């Protein structure tokens, strides 16, 4: 069928600069560039271009410029280009629109409507370069009080397992299969260097990565891929994945083409078969079932590891979170509307769930109202873009955050949203061995560790400016936040006051 879709991008090649070296031909994974041997010229099929910039970045003479196709539709407030093209695609295929990465719509980003505080005069700001500045965070269930034997002065209280983070930023779940082994190794090595955790996602743990166990969260999701006793005990935390911000209520589907030999070994399914993750976990149809699974995992790991439960942020997150804590979760994860994915139906990604800021604020408030906030660590994911977002999340009440997209960008991702195609030109979301080599785990780990180093320096600067030298004194400290451009209901839910108030 003839496609009625115009190219998304136009490619300008400066012929004076182009030396016909064919780097672009070799780098492009979407069959855009080709070498015409007869004319000794490079041709481009613009309709295939996804705007990933791989060719432009690697072009040794900077001969390539990628621009949005300037072709305009007639102005129409109802029918924008995206809608027209989506309908066109569906008319030509009869399928659900599939996409990658997170929600790219213009829903309000509340981080950008919150500002932080600093000390002036009445208390001194603290210089983080010269004075101690503590970002250490312990993940795990805390006791209501510490008990000391009055006779001996000895500590009676034994806390459940606590996992130490040097920086309150962890790497979000990205499964082997969705991302390559080299990506996972990069994450694992960076987490080890910085003193934080990476998350296996639901695709099991490749045998070569077991050695990073001290910095690993292993995930148990509806597909239960590669879940066995050794796996459960390999990491520091076991995370039950109920949902994901990019696709609340939706399962997953790793196409057979991506199930390579190694993926098959790790997921423990035959090579080339589709790996299906059901929408629900079929042993969890209700809250008491969650409790059953939480405790099954506690038994399976002999109570040596905190059990995390991750949900997509949805309308009644506060009540659900309260139930999760009461079900025994030692860490709860909220994944917001802007959380990303390797593949999700576009209509779900763009329309289901709530912004993480609101979910975080209401969950933290509710858990405090019920006096159970200390019983679980609260971690958020989905939409953390920089250290300012991290600081604001902590001040709203989070213990730590997950980053996914930001980590992938550190590795080279240009957010072209083609993860679901398996053709990632940056070698990130692919299992094509020719492409996965594009990530060198050593360099990848360096880039990720650099990012977290930069962020932790910035968080320390923010804390020092507030006159605080331990992160725990900013946690839930909403007095250090003010809202800007928000209505009263929004301010009330966030529990912050208006700027100037």
Residues engaged in binding other proteins (CB under 8 A): 119, 122-124, 126-127, 129-132, 134, 136, 138, 140, 142-148, 150, 153-155, 157, 159, 162, 368, 371, 373-374, 454, 457, 466-470, 472-480, 497, 501
Backbone angles phi, psi at 410, to 5 degrees: -60, -30
355, 108 Cβ separation under 8 angstroms: yes
Among residues 147 and 274, whose Cβ is nearest to other proteins? 147
Structure tokens at 238: 């076991």
Among residues 26 and 469, whose Cβ is nearest to other proteins? 469
Among residues 5 and 159, whose Cβ is nearest to other proteins? 159
Among residues 70 and 132, whose Cβ is nearest to other proteins? 132
Among residues 416 and 468, whose Cβ is nearest to other proteins? 468
- Tokens 């009080």 -> residue: 145
Among residues 349 and 480, whose Cβ is nearest to other proteins? 480
Among residues 22 and 369, whose Cβ is nearest to other proteins? 369
Among residues 142 and 253, whose Cβ is nearest to other proteins? 142
| SS3 (DSSP) at 483 | strand
Backbone angles phi, psi at 137, to 5 degrees: -135, 135
Among residues 254 and 395, whose Cβ is nearest to other proteins? 395
| SS3 (DSSP) at 26 | helix
Backbone angles phi, psi at 363, to 5 degrees: -70, -45
Structure tokens at 462: 């923010």
Of 100, 180, 28, 202, the residue nearest 419 (C-alpha) = 100
Among residues 180 and 215, whose Cβ is nearest to other proteins? 215
385, 423 Cβ separation under 8 angstroms: no
Structure tokens at 26: 């070799």
As beta bridge partners, residue 216 has: 198
Q: How far is the CB of 32 from other proteins (least distance, A)?
A: 32
Q: How far apart are CA 12 and CA 30, in angstroms?
A: 17
Classify burial at 29, counting beta carbons within 10 Å of its beta carbon; exposed 0-12, middle 13-18, buried 19 or more: buried
Taking the CA atoms of residue 161, residue 167, residue 169 and residue 175 in that order, the dihedral angle to the nearest 10 degrees is: -60
**Can you list the alpha helix ranges (DSSP code H) found in 346-487?**
346-349, 356-369, 387-396, 405-411, 433-436, 441-466
Of 206, 162, 234, the residue nearest 400 (C-alpha) = 162
Phi-psi category of 237—alpha, beta or left, where left has phi over 0 and alpha has psi -120 to 50? beta
Q: How far is the CB of 189 from other proteins (least distance, A)?
A: 20
Q: How far is the CB of 474 from other proteins (least distance, A)?
A: 7
Of 287, 215, 363, the residue nearest 295 (C-alpha) = 287
Among residues 155 and 279, whose Cβ is nearest to other proteins? 155
Q: How far apart are CA 498 and CA 479, in angstroms?
A: 11
Q: How far is the CB of 368 from other proteins (least distance, A)?
A: 6
468, 131 Cβ separation under 8 angstroms: no
Structure tokens at 305: 């590891």
Q: How far is the CB of 229 from other proteins (least distance, A)?
A: 28
Q: How far is CA 125 from CA 121, 296, 460, 497, in A?
A: 9, 48, 11, 22
Q: How far is the CB of 56 from other proteins (least distance, A)?
A: 22
Q: How far apart are CA 197 and CA 239, in angstroms?
A: 12
């Amino acid at each position: 069928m003839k496609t009625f879709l115009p190219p998304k991008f136009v490619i300008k090649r400066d012929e004076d600069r182009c030396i016909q070296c064919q780097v672009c031909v070799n780098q492009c994974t979407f069959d855009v560039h080709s070498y015409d041997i007869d004319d000794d010229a490079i041709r481009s099929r613009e309709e295939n271009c996804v705007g990933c910039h791989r060719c432009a970045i690697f072009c040794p003479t900077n001969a390539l410029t990628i621009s949005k196709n300037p072709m305009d539709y007639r102005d129409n407030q109802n029918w924008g280009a995206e809608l027209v093209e989506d309908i066109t695609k569906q008319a030509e295929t009869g399928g659900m629109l599939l996409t990658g990465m997170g929600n790219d719509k213009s829903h309000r980003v509340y981080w950008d409507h919150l500002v932080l505080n600093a000390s002036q005069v009445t208390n001194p700001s603290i210089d983080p370069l010269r004075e101690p500045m503590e970002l250490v965070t312990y993940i795990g269930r805390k006791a209501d009080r510490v008990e000391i034997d009055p006779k001996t002065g000895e500590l009676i209280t034994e806390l459940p397992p606590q996992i130490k983070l040097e920086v309150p930023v962890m790497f979000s779940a990205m499964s082997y299969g969705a991302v390559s082994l080299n990506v996972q190794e990069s994450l694992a090595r960076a987490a080890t260097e910085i003193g934080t955790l990476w998350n296996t996602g639901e695709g099991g743990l490749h045998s070569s990565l077991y050695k990073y166990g001290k910095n690993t969260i292993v995930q148990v999701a509806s597909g239960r891929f590669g879940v066995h006793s050794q796996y459960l005990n390999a990491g520091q935390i076991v995370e039950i994945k109920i949902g994901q911000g990019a696709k609340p209520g939706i399962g997953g589907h790793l196409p057979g083409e991506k199930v390579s030999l190694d993926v098959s070994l790790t997921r423990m399914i035959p090579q080339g078969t589709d790996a299906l993750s059901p929408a629900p976990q079929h042993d969890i149809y209700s809250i008491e079932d969650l409790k059953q699974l939480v405790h099954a995992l506690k038994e399976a790991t002999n109570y040596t590891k905190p059990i995390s439960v991750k949900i997509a942020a949805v309308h009644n997150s506060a009540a659900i979170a309260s139930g999760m804590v009461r079900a025994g979760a030692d860490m709860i994860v909220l994944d917001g509307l802007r959380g990303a994915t390797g593949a999700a139906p576009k209509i779900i990604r763009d329309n289901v769930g709530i912004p993480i800021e609101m979910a975080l604020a209401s969950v933290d408030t509710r858990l405090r109202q019920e006096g159970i906030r200390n019983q679980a660590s609260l971690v958020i994911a989905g939409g953390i873009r920089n250290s300012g977002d991290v600081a604001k999340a902590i001040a709203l009440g989070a213990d730590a955050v997950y980053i996914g997209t930001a980590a992938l960008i550190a590795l080279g991702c240009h957010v072209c949203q083609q993860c679901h195609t398996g053709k990632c030109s940056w070698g990130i979301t692919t299992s094509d061995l020719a492409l996965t080599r594009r990530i060198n785990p050593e360099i990848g780990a360096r880039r990720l560790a650099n990012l977290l180093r930069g962020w932790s320096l910035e968080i320390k600067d923010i804390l020092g400016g507030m006159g605080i030298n331990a992160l725990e004194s900013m946690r839930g400290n909403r007095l250090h936040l003010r809202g800007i451009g928000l209505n009263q209901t929004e301010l009330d839910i966030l529990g912050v006051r208006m700027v100037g108030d």
